[in-house]
Amino acid sequence: MNNRITTDLSGQTAIVTGAARGLGRHIAQSLAEAGAQVACVDINTESLADTVAAIRGAGGAAEPMACDVTDAGRVAEVVNEVVKRWGTLNILVNNAGITRDNVIVRMKDEQWDAVININLRGTFLFTRAVARPMMKNRRGRIINVASVSGLIGNPGQANYSASKAGVIGLTRTVARELASRNITVNAVAPGFIATDMTAALGEEIIQQVRKQIPLGRLGDPQDVADAVLFLASDAASFITGHVLTIDGGLTA
């Protein structure tokens, strides 16, 4: 893979959650290609090993970190391990997320809880854990992966939409709290991106979705990875508390 924007992240260390597959894998690979050392976090250790192998095979630096993002103790351990291993922590990408779709009258408690816990609690836990080392360094980039569902809602996704709206609120608040320490906090809000999760919708629904997107296509995972790369770079040093939609004009 080749990044379509150029930035130099040499000597910087990044954590990417949900790095085993999909958007997380593309984001981790893009950061590594730009020169960052990447701690790849996921609960799926087998697929996580594939991500790390791909990064190393391309000449990048990466380490697998098995972690349940809802486990506060393990999250703190991962952050401490990263700082101990590489001596610094510059970038956090909160990407880990799941869906458990159902209409509200049929949504089970466990469907609600699972999505809120991973998507929102996990983002909170990692953000809290990295804040102190970043404050000590007086520099940091936190990029949260939200969704257009958190902006406009989506039928059958009350839990997912609520979790991503929460991520957006968290982003804007923490951006204000950490700005004085030269730490920026932003979010990307992808629309329909061509991933395994989207493919599961089926071709008929995907065709209907394409008709709703002004650009007439699904996004590519690299579209999201490039946006994250920009927000992690010095070029975005005066941007914080922002939500960057990547949706082909869907919410325009």
Q: pLDDT tens string for the chain (252 positions)?
A: 667 888 999 999 999 999 999 999 999 999 999 999 999 999 999 999 999 999 999 999 999 999 999 999 999 999 999 999 999 999 999 999 999 999 999 999 999 999 999 999 999 999 999 999 999 999 999 999 999 999 999 999 999 999 999 999 999 999 999 999 999 999 999 999 998 777 777 788 889 889 999 999 999 999 999 999 999 999 999 999 999 999 999 998
Indicate if 40 belongs to the active site: no
Instruction: Please give the helix or strand (H or E) that residue 42 lies within, else none.
Output: strand 37-42
What global pTM score does this model have? 0.96
The contacts of residue 142 (CB under 8 Å, 6+ apart) are 91, 92, 94, 127, 130, 134, 171, 174, 178, 183, 184, 185, 186
The contacts of residue 99 (CB under 8 Å, 6+ apart) are 115, 157, 160, 197
Q: What is the pLDDT of residue 206?
A: 87
Catalytic residue (one of 112, 126, 160, 192) = 160
Q: According to CATH, what is the number of the domain 13-246?
A: 3.40.50.720
Domain boundaries, the chain: 13-246
